[in-house]
Structure 1
Amino acid sequence: MELQVRSEVRGGWTVVSVSGELDADTVPVLSDRLEESTGNVVVDLSEVPFMDTTGLSLMLDWHRRLDGAGGEFRMASMQASVHKLFRLTELTEVMHIHETVESATTTT
């Protein structure tokens, strides 16, 4: 399945919307789009039914990268299967995960 990535700016946040499976074959597509992003970023995962550890590593890398640069990295609207991966690795305690894109872009 081909990964679709689009982005837009909403109130000071770059919202990156992802559609498709996020795995070793498709992570470079999202990585390239994130490289174009600056400041605060929200990744909308509502249309990602599957993510492997490669996708998980990319999310953690961007969390650390933006945190170190004074920005913020948030994820929103995870499907249950993707959220389970974050719970099993205990990253729900470390990363900013929101129920909706709206809450991710408005919560301080």
Structure 2
Amino acid sequence: MRQERDALVVAVTGPLDLDSVAPLEEILRKADEDGVARVVVDLSAAPFADSTTVNVLLQAHSALGPALRLAAPSAALERLFTLTGLDTVLPLYDSVTKALDAEPAAPLGADGGDREG
């Protein structure tokens, strides 16, 4: 976890599932409580996520709204997000830099366009 510009960047490592997603959930909850302007979840080192993770991200989106951004998902995570429709709710970016540069955060599909980046 690090501050970059006006954002909290959370680097996730390893698979995200029922047994491992709690720290991410806690960080996102605390970011909401602290009123963080933007939260970028760097998924570049997360090869897998399950439905528990999707639920955590949806709850975080409910709390943080457009402040929450997902960056650098693997092909497997992109597929999960597409199958679950999460890609239409949360903005996905090819990299942390693109997530930080983008203003304002707009969910994929909100304007009929393609993935950000």
Structure 1 residue 42, shift from structure 2 partner: 0.4
Deviates more, 1:11-20 or 1:85-94: 85-94
> 1:1-108 counterparts in 2 under 5 A?
7-37=1-31, 38-67=36-65, 72-108=67-103
SS of match in other structure, 1:36: helix
Count matched residues. Answer: 99
TM-score by length of 2: 0.80
Identity among equivalent positions (%) equals 34
Give RMSD over aligned pairs.
1.1
Larger % of strand: which?
1
After superposition, give the CA deviation of every residue in 1:1-34 in whole Å (9 maximum; x if it has no partner): xxxxxx1111101000000110000111211222
Q: What is the distance in 1 between the residues matched to 2:85 and 2:24?
A: 23
After superposition, give the CA deviation of every residue in 1:22-53 in whole Å (9 maximum; x if it has no partner): 00001112112223323310000000000000
Amino acid at match of 1:105: L
Gap regions ≥5 residues in structure 2: 104-117
SS of match in other structure, 1:41: strand
Deviates more, 1:28-37 or 1:41-50: 28-37
Gap change, CA 1:48 and 1:66, over 3 Å in 2: same
Q: What is the distance in 2 between the residues matched to 1:35 and 1:57?
A: 13
The runs of at least 4 consecutive aligned structure 1 residues that moved more than 6 Å come to: none
Q: What is the distance in 1 between the residues matched to 2:70 and 2:20?
A: 18
